[in-house]
Amino acid sequence: MAMENPYFWNDFELKQPPLVTLQVEDTGFAKNVFVVINRFLQQLSEPDCKEFEETAALIGRLMARRKNSFRNMPGFRAVCKLNAALCRLLRLDLARDLQQFRGALPDVCDDQLGGAMPTRSSFEFILVRVLGFYHLHERIRECCLSAATYFTKVLRNNFFMDFTTLLIAAIGKIYKLSSLQAGKSATLYNKLRPQVANFPLVERHKFLAESQELPGQLEIIKSTKTETKAANTPDLMMKAKKVVTKVEKAKLEAKSDVGTVIARKEAPKIQFNEEILATVADAQQFIARESKARKQNPPPDSCLTRKIPKHEWLAAQTLFQRKLSKEPAKALSIFRKFIVSKIK
């Protein structure tokens, strides 16, 4: 089967060669192939794979809901490409092909025993499927970064806050889970690739063209500093920054502009001594002294009654003079209480 496309792993018309078996004398290597495939299939049933499928479905629903709002935006086109890659990954169905190939392996694998083994073409088809699975996840992460970079700017401008926050969160989760699955598929490929020469070759069922060759090894995705730095953009929803509106920003600036701080010394409070009004004569002298001081503009600091309103001061003098002729002691007591209440 001739295939000239260098990206044949992404070919929609890629057809599986007939799964036939041939008798071989040594089946010991099949044990390693069986164990590696079985371990990968167990990993596909782990919770993170289920989360990946649920999050991918959420992105598809979000895209369908807002397709009229964002269809002309470059970031939304990246989301559409991301959704197409996720759908393509679902269509690939790597687990089905691995289970089918695993079922064709011999039940008993021993270096001293012969048995029926699938052909090299069938094994190469499995490797191409794993290769497609790996590169689709690479495509998914590229679309995640492109979409998250754009919608992060939208979020900072306070546009579509609820939708954008949810979308960035979903994209970040897809990016993280895609890295995990890509790393697992790379490990599977790197362990299966050296076993190609052990499978029997049938010229009539040859799968790869003469000019095509499978890569010797795939890069395993690990959580390195470079990977963490690249994932900072989609992880923005995990560490959301507080968005400050223009009104709040203006309020903050107004509060921050306090001008030049000047130290001011508080004027010492005047302590009023009641003993200066011990007698009627003291009260009369106090009234004369304060009345003279109040006439100045402004009254001096030595004027104890400068803050008493004019009408209250005149009323206190009138009452004092009226009571003085009949009840001097009562007149003095009323005047003293008035002055003390106003000054203290």
Q: Where are the domains of the chain?
A: 8-254, 274-343
Mapped onto helix, strand or coil, the DSSP state of residue 301 is coil
For residue 231, name the pLDDT band (cuts at 50, 70, 90): very low
Position 227 scores a pLDDT of 45
Q: How many CB atoms are closer than 10 A to CB 110?
A: 13
Mapped onto helix, strand or coil, the DSSP state of residue 9 is helix
Going by the DSSP 8-state scheme, the letter that residue 22 receives in this structure is: E
For residue 239, name the pLDDT band (cuts at 50, 70, 90): very low
**Looking at 105-189, which runs of residues are DSSP E strands?**
115-118
What average pLDDT score do residues 5-26 get? Answer: 75
The rounded distance, in Å, linking the Cα atoms of 37 and 29 is: 13
User: In terms of residues, how long is the chain?
Assistant: 344
Position 61 scores a pLDDT of 87
Position 229 scores a pLDDT of 46
Give the dihedral sign, CA 52/55/57/59: negative
What average pLDDT score do residues 213-222 get? Answer: 81
The rounded distance, in Å, linking the Cα atoms of 279 and 266 is: 34
Of residues 49 and 191, the one with the higher pLDDT is 191
Say if residue 298 is preceded by a cis peptide, omega within 30 of 0: yes
Q: Which amino acid type is present at position 44? A: L
For residue 325, name the pLDDT band (cuts at 50, 70, 90): confident
Contact 34, 102 (CB under 8 A): yes
The rounded distance, in Å, linking the Cα atoms of 69 and 62 is: 11
pLDDT at residue 140 greater than cutoff 90: yes
The rounded distance, in Å, linking the Cα atoms of 96 and 11 is: 18
For residue 1, name the pLDDT band (cuts at 50, 70, 90): very low
Contact 155, 243 (CB under 8 A): yes
Contact 10, 132 (CB under 8 A): yes
Alpha helices in the chain (DSSP H): 29-44, 47-65, 67-70, 74-92, 94-103, 120-156, 161-192, 225-230, 246-256, 280-294, 310-324, 328-343
Position 339 scores a pLDDT of 82
Give the DSSP H/E element, type plus range, for residue 23.
Answer: strand 21-24
Q: How many CB atoms are closer than 10 A to CB 56?
A: 22
Structure tokens at 313: 């001061």
pLDDT at residue 183 greater than cutoff 90: yes
For residue 266, name the pLDDT band (cuts at 50, 70, 90): low
For residue 189, name the pLDDT band (cuts at 50, 70, 90): very high
What average pLDDT score do residues 123-139 get? Answer: 91
Mean pLDDT of the chain: 79
Mapped onto helix, strand or coil, the DSSP state of residue 20 is coil
Residue closest to 129 by CA, chosen among 89, 82, 176: 89
For residue 292, name the pLDDT band (cuts at 50, 70, 90): confident
Burial code of 275-296, b = ≥16 C-beta within 10 A, e = fewer? eebeeeeebeebbeebeebbee
Kindly give, in sequence order, each residue whose CB lies less than 8 Å from that of residue 14, ignoring residues fewer than 6 positions away. Answer: 3, 8, 128
- Of 95-104, 117-126, 132-141, 275-284, least confident by mean pLDDT is 275-284
Of residues 241 and 271, the one with the higher pLDDT is 271
Kindly report the pTM of this predicted structure.
0.61
pLDDT at residue 232 greater than cutoff 50: no
pLDDT at residue 288 greater than cutoff 50: yes
Residue closest to 70 by CA, chosen among 169, 143, 163: 163
Of residues 34 and 259, the one with the higher pLDDT is 34
What average pLDDT score do residues 216-235 get? Answer: 56
For residue 50, name the pLDDT band (cuts at 50, 70, 90): confident
Of residues 205 and 278, the one with the higher pLDDT is 278
Phi/psi of residue 72, each to 5°? -95, 0
Contact 175, 82 (CB under 8 A): no
Position 37 scores a pLDDT of 92
